[in-house]
Structure 1
């Protein structure tokens, strides 16, 4: 950052010493505003220079630069979707509201006449993971619906994802320029898949079922197996019906099949020595958080879950001073993750 004092000293040095240049003099007072203006201009120049690198951009500026250079758009957030069972007789209309006790609201996405009881499709009002709620938690009518007395969701809602982060967008930008996509090559199929909201990453398997066939294996934005809805959206975008007719992004003659990665559950068991002031639950929560981040970063990048890395993560947890008896899926070896698989955290059991 430029400083006014440095510029003022430079300007005063250019004036012959035979003139009075002390603070309060005419020359000093005349040059001080010029020095301040020069300092502000230098700061602006530094700011612009910083923005020449995409690594220094964020938010709307990053979105604009990526769009200008690659045509890629930041993936939008998505609303969680699911269904509720309503009890009563009457008509549910598009936009009718349902709510959890914690205040998460959903709206009906269909109009439907109900007699005694019936199922209605819903989506969260707000984009993001807050709409992913467990089964039997949508139990309230924030606005009374005539004829209906009860509501619940028999299954959890899903596929609510936040807008693509700056980190993920920047990563996708670099993938685009470092692995050029053209004429339906592997990079092209991967880029197409990752343009769909809710997709976190993709792998492309060429000739998987013979000539002119391509399999695209995807995971969601949480780096977990993708839902059927996300798979269907990617299939429609790349090759509707997997018929190779060129009705999607893929060229004519390329028969593309989209599938979700298969989840490999990772079960952690360990006996821990706790640091003073920490509880068993805090140890479980800390290890769970560390493992969630590790598996997210490793998804479609690493080919195994490392026993040594898991041990290091446990020791790095605030609540844990030491541990013994660590097992992953009942053993003490690395867990191999196949090309069409993704590791998903299961139960974390901590004995103290």
Structure 2
């Protein structure tokens, strides 16, 4: 706003107000008297500019944005700790700790004999690792093998500033209140491990409200996560084991019967004819090709909750694959053996399958 009011401009304006018969050259008495004041004024305008930007949510830095959003009861989501399933060759004590590389894990709950829930002690997505061997930090009698086999509730990193800013502005689009759509979506997406949600109202086919979720790593949610969301929104039984759905024991109002489901996935096989640059062949590019396809599918999955259906588009896929070093052209691309875009059902996300070069 005040970027034009630099030190030089301010000093020039001040000197212009001095009579012409007074020496105003650099080093003169009046010049030396005004220059420090011009400098301080320039610094003040910089500070005012910062204050002005900090006042409005669209330009506010993170700390000021947090204070602004607090007025609407909104706060940035903190990093969470991954909950994982560990399998052992003996039963281990609750509270025992294990490690893999720089990560430590603590046993929190027994699922069944030799199978436990573990929590990564380091917050953030770095803890979302599975199929890894564990080493006991403290001695566990009889233990020879320990492995993490599944991510039950994925961790998330601290919410990025721009995502938080978008969420703040989105809060003005609809008012969450007493079980309306905005209320359900806001409460569901705020739960640990949930990356997005879709809401289906009561219909002639079903008197239940249906909410579908995707995990925070944009994959198919585990049964553990689905059960946790169900219990939070509308538990199927109360603490005494009595049928409780629709009775208001969760976030859902009395009379709202809510069923929580997870999204599903479909394996997508990709086949194409590639033309290679000199010195390249399929073996030299296939790993990168696989990564590009996975990243494209992940981009789609991140938009699952905002779209009625996801569409895997051949043109989009080919455009990304043409960016792979060593590939000069692509043709005859098929998705699951069909040379057409793949339109997925509302509850489906794509997962990379086999990748073949014709």
TM-score, normalised with respect to structure 2: 0.84
Aligned to 1:346: 352
Aligned to 2:337: 330
CA contact (8 A) 1:291 1:345 kept: no
- Total equivalences in the alignment: 342
Aligned to 1:145: 139
Deviations 1:289-317 (A, max 9, x none): 54145323442334222222222222234
Please say if 1:214 is aligned against 2:216. Answer: no
Deviation at 1:191, TM superposition (A): 1.4
Deviation at 1:218, TM superposition (A): 1.2
Mean Cα deviation higher: 54-63 or 262-271: 54-63
Instruction: Return 5+ residue gaps in structure 2 as ranges.
Output: 237-243
Deviation at 1:206, TM superposition (A): 0.6
Q: 2: CA distance between counterparts of 1:286 and 1:118?
A: 35
Aligned to 1:316: 323
Instruction: Output aligned runs, 1:9-20, within 5 Å.
Output: 9-20=12-23
> CA separation of 1:327/1:21 partners in 2, compared to 1, >3 Å: closer, same or farther?
same
Aligned with 2:306: secondary structure? coil
Q: 2: CA distance between counterparts of 1:93 and 1:120?
A: 9
Deviation at 1:350, TM superposition (A): 4.8
Could you list the structure 1 runs, at least 4 aligned residues long, displaced by more than 4 angstroms after superposition: 208-212, 275-278
Deviation at 1:286, TM superposition (A): 4.8
Aligned to 1:97: 97
> CA separation of 1:65/1:231 partners in 2, compared to 1, >3 Å: closer, same or farther?
farther
Deviations 1:13-67 (A, max 9, x none): 1111111111111211111111111111111222222233423345444333323
CA contact (8 A) 1:267 1:347 kept: yes
Please say if 1:271 is aligned against 2:273. Answer: yes
TM-score, normalised with respect to structure 1: 0.85
Candidates 38, 46, 49, aligned match of 2:49: 46
Aligned to 1:131: 127
CA contact (8 A) 1:77 1:163 kept: yes
Instruction: Output aligned runs, 1:250-329, within 5 Å.
Output: 250-275=252-277, 279-288=284-293, 290-302=295-307, 303=309, 304-329=311-336
Aligned to 1:109: 108
CA contact (8 A) 1:132 1:156 kept: no
Deviations 1:251-301 (A, max 9, x none): 221111111112233332223234457631453255235414532344233
> CA separation of 1:87/1:262 partners in 2, compared to 1, >3 Å: closer, same or farther?
closer
Q: CA RMSD of the aligned region, Å?
A: 2.9
CA contact (8 A) 2:213 2:221 kept: yes
Candidates 227, 236, 239, aligned match of 1:232: 227
